[in-house]
Chain A
Amino acid sequence: MDAIAVMLITQGIHGLAYGMLLFLVASGFTLIFGMMGILNIAHASFFMLAAYFAFQIMQWSGSFWLALLLAPIAIAGLGILMERLMLRQIRKFKLGKAVVLFELMLTVGIMVCIEEAVKNLWGTDPEIVNAPELLRGLVQFFGMTYPVYRIFIIGLSCSILLLLGLILFKTRLGNVVRAAVQDADMAGALGVNVPLVFTLVFGLGTWLAGIAGVAAAPMLTVFPGLANQMMLDSFIVVALGGFGSLFGAFVISMLLGELTAFGIQFFPGYSTIILFGFMALVLTIRPSGLFGEKE
C-alpha cells in the first residue's frame, strides 16, 4: 500500500477513536438534556475529573483496570449527588421560566468549581497515565502498524454502546427511560417514578463521561484544560444531532471525530469556524437538530 493511503487510514482510525470517546461523553449529555431539559455545562468537567481520578488510582494501586472500574463509579456518585442535592433544590424555588437560567448557572458554577479544585489538588502541569502492559505497543494489520490502545478504545466504546442500546431498547427499564425522555409529565402520570428515573439517568450519563475520561487518560495527556475541547465538541454533537437523540449523537460524533482528525491535515485553523458556523446555522434553521424530532 502506498504511503498516502496508509496515512489516510491511520488518520481515519485516529478520528474513530476520538469520535467514540466523544460519543460516550455526548450520549450522557444528550440523554440528560432530552430528559430533564438541563444543559449540563459541567458534563465535560466530569470527563476531565475522571481522567484525574484514573491518574490518582493508578498512583495508588498501579492498576489501570481498577481505575477503569472505580473512577467512573465515583464520578457517577458525584453526578447523582449533584442531581439530588443541587438541581432538585432549584426546582423548589418555583422560579417559573427563570429556572432554566438558574440551572444553567448552577452547572457553570460546578464546572468552574471542578476545574479550580483539580488545579488545586493536582496542579496545572500535565500528568501522564500509562496504558496497561497488555495494551501498549503496536499492532500489525494489512501491512500497517497501529497503536493497540486506540483499537482498545474503539472496542470498549462499541461494547458500551451495545450494552447501552440493549438496556435502552430491549428492557423495561429502557422503555421507562425513553418514555421519560419523550415526555416526563406523561410518564409521571402513567405511574413512573420520574424523579428516580432522573437520578438514574443523571448517574448513567456521568458514568459514561467517567468511562470516557479514564479511557482518554492514556491517549490524551491529563490536564485541566481537557474539559474545554470536550465541552465544545459535545455541544456541537448535541446541537447538530438533536437534543435527546442518541442516534444523532452517534452519527455526529463519528463525523466530528473524522473531521477533527483530517481537519488538522487539510485545513488547519478553519475547522473550528466551519463547525461552529454549521452549528449556528442548524440551531437557527432547525433548532431540534438534524436527527431530533420536531417539537
Chain B
Amino acid sequence: MKNSFRKWLLWAAILAGLYTAPVLFGVFELNLLLGASIFALFSLSLNLLLSFTGLLSFGHAMFFASGAYGTALVLTRLDGCSLLSAIFVGAASAVLVALVLSPLLVRVGGHTFAMLTMAFSQIMYATVMKFSHLTGGNDGMSGFPIPPLVIPAVGLIDMSLERNFYYFSISILGLSAWVMWFFTRTPFGSIMVSIRDNPDRVTYLGFNVPLSKAIILGVSAGFAGVAGSVYALFQNMVSVDGVLGPLSSFTPLINCFIGGLGTFIGPVFGTGIGTILLELMSAHPEQAQLVFSLVLISVVLFLPGGAIMLYWKITSRWIVLRNKFQTAILKGNHES
C-alpha cells in the first residue's frame, strides 16, 4: 500500500515537473527536454522488441523515418490537414511498413533478424534517395506548415508558440508511453515475454507465434512512427541522414542498453543519461560521441543491467548498510 502510494507520488511529481518545465526553464532547456522525450519514446518502442520479445533490430530507424516522412509529406502535399491527422498518418505509415515487412521478419530471430532489419533500412535509405522529387533526396524536406491544434469548443491553439508546442508534444509522447506500458501489462504482454523465453512452448499452448510477433512489430513500429512524426514537427525538417543515417538505428539501442535491459522504463533513463552526457560534453562536441561509445562498452562489459541495475545495487547496498547500522545501534543499546 505504502509502496503503491509512493509510486503514484513519483508519477505525479514527474508529471508536474514536465508540465511546469516551461515556466521554470528557457527555450533552450525546453527544446533539449523535448528532443530527449522524442528519443525516449523512440527507444521505448525499440525496447518493446528488445527487452520484451528478445529481438534485436538494427533498422528501427526506418519506422521512425516512415513516421517523420509520412507527416512531412502529408503536411507538404495536403492543404488543410489537421495536426492530429498528420501525426496519425505518420504512425499509420510506420505500421504499414512494419506490416508489409512482417511476413519476412516474423520468421527469423537473433542475428538474422538484426541483419534483415538492417537490410530493410538500407533499402529504405536508397528508396528515399531515389524518390527525391517527393522526399527532397539528400536535402530533405523542410519548411512545411505546422497547422494549429483544433479542439472543439475550445478553439485553435497556435503551434508556432514554443510553449504550446511543448505541451502538445509532451502530452502525445507521454500518452504513447503510457499506452505502451499498458500494452506490456495486458495478457498479450505476457505472451510477448513468453515468446522471448520459449517460443516453442507458446506454440504448444495454442498461440500463433508469427501473428503475435507481427502484432508486436506493428505496435512497436507505430510508436516509433509517432516519435518520428513529432520529431518532424519539432524540427520542422526531415533529412535522410538525420533519420536514416548510419547511427540513427544504433542510438536508441545504445539508450536501451545504457538504461537497462529487461525493464520498461530503462530506455528513458538511458536517453536521459545520454542527453545529459552530450550536454556536459557540448564544449567538446568531437569527443562527445567517443565518450558515449566508451560508456556503452563499459556498461556492456561491467554492468549488463545498465543504469537501473546500478540504482538497485546502490539502494540494496544502502539498505544493507542501514540494517547494519541499526543492528549495531540496537546491539550497543542492548549492551549498555
Contacts and interface: CB of A to CB of B under 8 A. Distances in A.
Contacts of A283: 108, 112, 115-116, 119
Contact of B250 (A112, A232, A276): A112
Interface residues of B, number: 41
Nearest to B302: A89
A270 B123 CA distance: 10
B24 to A, nearest CB: 34
Given A113-B293, A273-B127, A284-B108, 14 more contacts: A39-B111, A39-B114, A101-B261, A102-B304, A104-B111, A108-B253, A110-B293, A112-B254, A116-B286, A120-B287, A235-B118, A269-B130, A280-B119, A284-B104
Contacts of B125: 272
Interface residues of A, number: 41
B23 interface: no
B296 A105 contact: yes
Contacts of A102: 300, 304
27 contacts: A39-B115, A86-B301, A97-B54, A100-B56, A100-B111, A101-B261, A102-B300, A102-B304, A104-B56, A105-B253, A105-B296, A106-B301, A109-B300, A112-B292, A113-B297, A117-B290, A119-B286, A228-B246, A239-B119, A243-B111, A269-B130, A272-B125, A277-B123, A279-B119, A280-B119, A283-B108, A283-B116
Contacts of B257: 105
A228 B54 CA distance: 26
With most chain B CB atoms within 10 A of its CB, the pick from A37, A104, A280 is A280
Closest 10 pairs between A and B when the two form their complex, measured CB to CB: A116-B290, A112-B293, A109-B296, A272-B126, A113-B293, A109-B297, A276-B119, A284-B104, A116-B289, A276-B123
A123 B130 CA distance: 31
With most chain A CB atoms within 10 A of its CB, the pick from B254, B286, B290 is B290
A98 interface: yes
A39 B286 CA distance: 28
Contacts of B107: 284
Contacts of A138: none
B104 A108 contact: no
A141 interface: no
Interface string A82-123: 000010011001010110111011101110110011011000
A169 to B, nearest CB: 26
Contacts of B108: 283-284, 287
Given A100-B110, A108-B253, A90 B300 contact: yes
B320 to A, nearest CB: 22
Interface of A: 33, 37, 39, 86, 89-90, 93, 95, 97-98, 100-102, 104-106, 108-110, 112-113, 116-117, 119-120, 228, 232, 235, 239, 243, 269-270, 272-273, 276-277, 279-280, 283-284, 287
Contact of B247 (A86, A97, A112, A287): A112
Contacts of B297: 86, 106, 109-110, 113
A112 B119 contact: no
